């Protein structure tokens, strides 16, 4: 297996990479639509709408039910969605297999870890705490923390500036074309995970540097013995 000898830190996407957030997002959206007396949507539809932040997701929800909302209706919908999501997010969001133990291994081996997500920053502290992974991240960037969301490279530039890194020293791990494009634009090496969302399209089409089915395989890229899992 090819190893990346220069990697000094690792950044991760959240939804579809570390966590399966679809059940919570779908339930909040379904409750929002019920409040508005509108047709509902399925979990599978929401899975294909995730990745560009809440505003874009809600626009896709309305398009799916053939409703053209006014700006006022969109604002009302967002407020309702946020209210419902805040209630169900913790219980309905689960870590994917091997995520926690892999983050723990990386943290113990002194890799600075960053979270780079388009999810609104307001939800992140409580969610990361409830999942038991908050302590592993030195930097957390969500929607509202950066001037541009992925696929713009700005969030990764911010990570590199914070950690004092060159682009080839930061590995970015994600599940969608937004993640891979952001990292490619920032000239960072990329890992794509096949189990994520990516709008129902194979992430292989985004040409990541590495493609894995299992989160723990990230460890195989890093120098030994630094990335050896604790037994």
Q: What is the DSSP string of 27-51?
A: HHHHHHHHHTT-----HHHHHTTTT
Binding residues: 13, 15, 175
* pTM of structure: 0.89
Is the pLDDT assigned to residue 158 strictly greater than 90? yes
pLDDT tens digits for 3-14?
Answer: 788 999 999 999
Binding site residue list for Mg(2+)? 13, 15, 175
Determine whether 13 is an active site residue.
Answer: yes
Same domain, residue pair 215 and 110: yes
Q: Which of 92, 121, 151 is the last residue of a domain?
A: 92
**Catalytic choice (6, 13, 20, 35):** 13
- Say if residue 227's pLDDT is above 80: no
8 A C-beta contact, residue 42 and residue 26: yes
pLDDT of residue 127: 94
Question: 105 and 207, same structural domain?
Answer: yes
pLDDT per residue over 117-137, tens digit each? 999 999 999 999 999 999 999
In this structure, are 153 and 75 located in the same domain? no
Mean pLDDT score, 178-204: 96
Residue 19: burial class (beta carbons within 10 Å; 0-12, 13-18, 19+): buried
pLDDT > 90 in the chain, percent: 89
Residue 213: inside a domain: yes
Are 151 and 67 contained in the same domain? no
Which of 53-57, 71-75, 153-157 is most confident?
A: 153-157
- My answer on whether 72 and 180 are in the same domain is no
Q: Which residue segment(s) compose the domain that 170 sits in?
A: 9-18+96-221
- Average the pLDDT over 25-36 and give the result: 96
| Residue where a domain terminates, one of 71, 92, 113 | 92
Q: How many domains does the chain contain in total?
A: 2
């Amino acid at each position: 297996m090819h190893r990346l000898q220069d990697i000094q830190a690792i950044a991760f996407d959240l939804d579809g990479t570390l966590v399966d957030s679809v059940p919570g997002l779908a339930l909040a959206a379904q409750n929002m639509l019920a409040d508005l007396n509108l047709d509902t949507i399925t979990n599978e539809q929401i899975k294909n709408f995730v990745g560009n932040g809440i505003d874009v997701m809600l626009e896709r929800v309305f398009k799916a039910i053939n409703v053209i909302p006014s700006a006022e209706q969109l604002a009302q919908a967002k407020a309702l969605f946020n209210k419902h999501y805040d209630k169900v997010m913790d219980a309905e969001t689960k870590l994917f297999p091997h995520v926690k133990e892999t983050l723990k291994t990386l943290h113990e081996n002194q890799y600075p870890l960053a979270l780079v997500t388009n999810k609104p920053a307001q939800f992140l502290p409580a969610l990361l705490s409830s999942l038991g992974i908050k302590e592993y991240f030195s930097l957390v960037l969500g929607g509202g923390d950066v001037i541009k969301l992925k696929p713009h490279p700005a969030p990764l530039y911010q990570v590199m500036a914070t950690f004092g890194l060159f682009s080839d020293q930061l590995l970015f791990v994600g599940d969608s074309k937004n993640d891979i494009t952001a990292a490619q634009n920032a000239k960072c090496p990329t890992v794509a995970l096949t189990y994520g969302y990516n709008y129902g399209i194979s992430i292989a089409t985004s040409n990541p540097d590495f493609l894995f089915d299992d989160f723990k395989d990230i460890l195989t890229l890093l120098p030994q013995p630094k990335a050896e899992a604790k037994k």
